[in-house]
Amino acid sequence: MGYIEIEKVSKWYKKDHLIIKDLTLSVAKGEFLVIVGPSGCGKSTLLRMIAGLEEINSGVIKIEDEVVNNLSPADRDIAMVFQNYALYPHMNVYKNLSYGLKNRKVPKDIIDKKVKETSKLLQIEELLDRKPSELSGGQRQRVAMGRAIIREPKAFLFDEPLSNLDAKLRHQMRLEIRKLHDKLGITSIYVTHDQVEAMTLADRIVVMNGGRVEQIGTPDEIYNTPASIFVAKFMGTPPMNIFQMKISDGKIDFFGTSVEISNPDGMVFVGIRPEAIQDARSDIVIEVLVTMVERLGSENIIYGECQGEQIVIKSKKMPEKNNSMQFYLSKESIYIFS
Ligand SMILES: Nc1ncnc2c1ncn2[C@@H]1O[C@H](COP(=O)(O)OP(=O)(O)OP(=O)(O)O)[C@@H](O)[C@H]1O
Ligand SMILES: [Mg+2]
C-alpha cells in the first residue's frame, strides 16, 4: 500500500479533451519520485491535483489511506515548491519562513526555534532580515524550500524548482535536495525537464506522455530497459538512434552485418544509443560519413550518415567533416521495439 495513492484519476477542462487519462500511481513512504515528460503532458496538473489546487474529475487520491479528493490544500498537509519560488515580496526571510506557522497559531518560541533549525539546515541563517528582492536566485530557492520544510509536511511536491537557476547552482542545489531528502526522509514528488536531475535524484522515475504513464521504474530500468520508443528517445542525450529494419529468417541486416534477433520475423524498430557506439573493435562495424561534429570538451557528438540513414554517435574521436570513418558496436547494445 502506497503512502500516496493515485487511482484511475482523470482531469479535463473540456469533456472531449482529457488532460490526465485514467492515471494510476503509487508512491511509497519516504520515496523520491521524479516525474518527467514533454511540455504540456500534464505534470503540473498532476502535482496540483495531489496538492488540492486543482479538482479532479474522476478517480481517487489517497494520502496515508485517507481519501483527500474533497480536502482543501491546507488540510492535505502537503508542501509545494514552485519554479518561481512564490515568496511574499514584502516580508523578510524570517517572516516568509514563519508565516505558515504563525497562521496556525504556533507559539512564538517554537516558531523561533524552528526558523533557527531550518535556516541552519539550508544555510540561510545570515539572510533572515533580508527581503526576497535582496536575494540571489539560489538563496530564494533555499527560502522557498525552507518554507516547505518548516511545516514538516506529509509530502513535498516540487514543480521544476531549479529551472530558473544557472547550471552550476542547479547542480549544487540538486545535491542539496538529495542530501536533505536523505536526512529528512519526507516523501517527495519532483517534476523536472532535466534528465540529469531525474536520473540522479530519483528512487523511481515516472515517464509521462499525453496525460498517461509510459513507464515507471528505477533510473537504471528506465535507461537500460525502456518500455517504448518514446521512453527510449526521451531519456538519454542525444536521444537513441532509431532505424526501421526487417527481421527475416530470424536476422536483421544491420548496415551490412547480419545480426540474429529472437523476435518474430517482420518490420521492427531498432534502437542504438549514441554512447553505445564505440571506437574500439566489437561485433559490428559500421561505416559512417561524418557530416558534423560538436565538441563537448571530454567527448564529441558526431552526426553522420550510414547507408543513407542519419546516425548520432558520442565519441572521444574528433573526425574531420565529410570523411568516412569506422565505428563499432556490440550485438548486446541493440534494442528492438516491435
Ligand atoms: N486552466 C486550464 N484550462 C485549460 N487547459 C489547461 C489549463 N491548465 C492547463 N491546461 C492544459 O493542460 C495540459 C497540461 O498542462 P500542464 O501544465 O500540466 O503541463 P506540464 O506537463 O506541466 O507542461 P510544462 O512541462 O510545460 O510545465 C496542457 O495542454 C495545458 O494547455
Ligand atoms: Mg508544468
pLDDT in tens, 75-95: 999 998 887 778 899 999 999
3-class state of residue 248 by DSSP = strand
The ligand minimizing its distance to the Cα of 49 is 1
Measure the CA–CA gap between 226 and 337, rounded to whole angstroms.
Answer: 10
Q: Which atom of ligand 1 is nearest to the CA of 37?
A: 21
The ligand minimizing its distance to the Cα of 42 is 1
Measure the CA–CA gap between 320 and 333, rounded to whole angstroms.
Answer: 26
**CATH code of domain 241-337:** 2.40.50.140
**pTM confidence score:** 0.92
**CATH code of domain 4-234:** 3.40.50.300
Measure the CA–CA gap between 144 and 94, rounded to whole angstroms.
Answer: 12
Cell numbers linked to 260 = 540474429
Measure the CA–CA gap between 172 and 175, rounded to whole angstroms.
Answer: 5
The ligand minimizing its distance to the Cα of 36 is 1
Q: How far is the CA of 44 from the centre of ligand 1 (A)?
A: 7
Q: Which long-range contacts (CB under 8 A, 24 or more apart) does 134-137 make?
A: 135/93, 137/164, 137/165, 137/166, 137/169
Inform me whether the pLDDT recorded for 185 exceeds 80. yes
Confidence (pLDDT) at 143: 93
Average pLDDT, integer, range 11-21: 92
Confidence (pLDDT) at 70: 94
Count Cα atoms within 13 angstroms, Cβ side, for 73. 13
State the DSSP code for 282.
Answer: -
Counting residues of the chain whose pLDDT is more than 90, the rounded percentage is: 79
DSSP H/E element including 14: strand 4-14
Residues in contact with ligand 1 (CB, 6 Å cut-off): 13, 19, 37, 39-45
Name the residue of 11, 44, 191 whose CB sits within 8 Å of the most ligand 1 atoms, as the mutation to test its pocket. Answer: 44
Measure the CA–CA gap between 24 and 9, rounded to whole angstroms.
Answer: 7
3-class state of residue 87 by DSSP = coil
In which residue are the cell numbers 521544476 written? 160
Please tell me the residue having the least CA distance from ligand 1 atom 31: 40
Q: How far is the CA of 36 from the centre of ligand 1 (A)?
A: 14
Inform me whether the pLDDT recorded for 323 exceeds 80. yes
Q: How far is the CA of 42 from the centre of ligand 1 (A)?
A: 6
Confidence (pLDDT) at 208: 97
Residue 338 to residues 34, 76, 96, 244, 269: CA-CA distances in angstroms? 27, 43, 53, 10, 6
Measure the CA–CA gap between 97 and 111, rounded to whole angstroms.
Answer: 9
What amino acid occupies position 266? G
Confidence (pLDDT) at 176: 86
- Are the C-beta atoms of 80 and 189 separated by less than 8 Å? no
Tell me the pLDDT tens digit for each residue of 230-278. 999 999 999 999 999 999 999 999 999 999 999 999 999 999 999 999 9
For ion ligand 2, residues whose CB falls within 5 Å: 44
**Three state DSSP letters for 181-206:** HHHHCCEEEEECCCHHHHHHHCCEEE
Quick one: pLDDT band at residue 188, thresholds 50, 70, 90? very high
Average pLDDT, integer, range 196-205: 95
Q: How far is the CA of 19 from the centre of ligand 1 (A)?
A: 7
Please tell me the residue having the least CA distance from ligand 1 atom 9: 45
**Three state DSSP letters for 90-153:** CCCHHHHHHHHHHHCCCCHHHHHHHHHHHHHHCCCHHHCCCCHHHCCHHHHHHHHHHHHHCCCC
Q: Which atom of ligand 1 is nearest to the CA of 14?
A: 4
Measure the CA–CA gap between 203 and 194, rounded to whole angstroms.
Answer: 16
User: What is the pLDDT of the chain when averaged over all its residues?
Assistant: 93
Domain boundaries, the chain: 4-234, 241-337
Please tell me the residue having the least CA distance from ligand 1 atom 14: 42
DSSP string, 73-84: HHHHTEEEE-TT
Average pLDDT, integer, range 314-323: 91
Measure the CA–CA gap between 98 and 78, rounded to whole angstroms.
Answer: 16
